[in-house]
Amino acid sequence: MKVALSVFKDSISTVFDVSQQLLVLEINGAGEQKRTMVKLETIDPIRRASQLSEEGINVLICGAISMPMQASVSARNILVYPFVRGKVEDVISAYRYGKLGQAVYALPGCRRRGYGGSRGRNRGAHHRWRG
């Protein structure tokens, strides 16, 4: 499974629609296997979603994301954790232990739209990180 975090320096990038880098974690039953940085090539929602799909991303953890962008990413069967903030390592740890729903990881005023906020076909789905 591949989990992508949209990052800026050592934090989650504030706005996914214009963010430029992804930190991709490859995870299997034994835990985290590999980390790679991926440059996002375009800000066009369809092409951006298409790039995520080509990279084989299963889960996207990101900051603010516009509705069309989220719809486009979700349409590729990618589970989106939107409106997340925090230091990258803290967010990875929170995801690992199922604590992304805590207020400290939600952008101000966005808690309702935060945790597991991917609307549509992925609603309710949750990829567990074991190991």
State the DSSP string of 90-118. HHHHHHHTT-TTSGGGBPTT-GGGSTT--
Is the CA virtual torsion 62, 45, 70, 54 positive or negative?
A: negative
In angstroms, give the least distance from the CB of 113 to other proteins.
6
Are the C-beta atoms of 38 and 55 separated by less than 8 Å?
yes
Residues 6+ apart with CB under 8 A from 78: 49, 52, 53, 57, 58, 59, 60, 122
Binding mask 58-97 for other proteins (x = CB under 8 A): -----xxxxxxxxxx-xxx-----xx-x------------
In angstroms, give the least distance from the CB of 92 to other proteins.
19
Taking the chain, what is the end-to-end CA distance rounded to the nearest angstrom? 13
Does position 29 interact with other proteins (CB under 8 A)? The reply is no
Does position 19 interact with other proteins (CB under 8 A)? The reply is yes
In angstroms, give the least distance from the CB of 65 to other proteins.
7
31, 101, 120, 131: residue in contact with other proteins (rule CB under 8 A): 120
Does position 13 interact with other proteins (CB under 8 A)? The reply is yes
35, 87, 123, 126: residue in contact with other proteins (rule CB under 8 A): 123
In degrees and rounded to multiples of 5, residue 96 shows phi and psi of -60, -40
Give the footprint of other proteins on this chain (CB under 8 A). 8, 13-15, 17-19, 44-47, 49-50, 63-72, 74-76, 82-83, 85, 107-110, 113, 119-121, 123
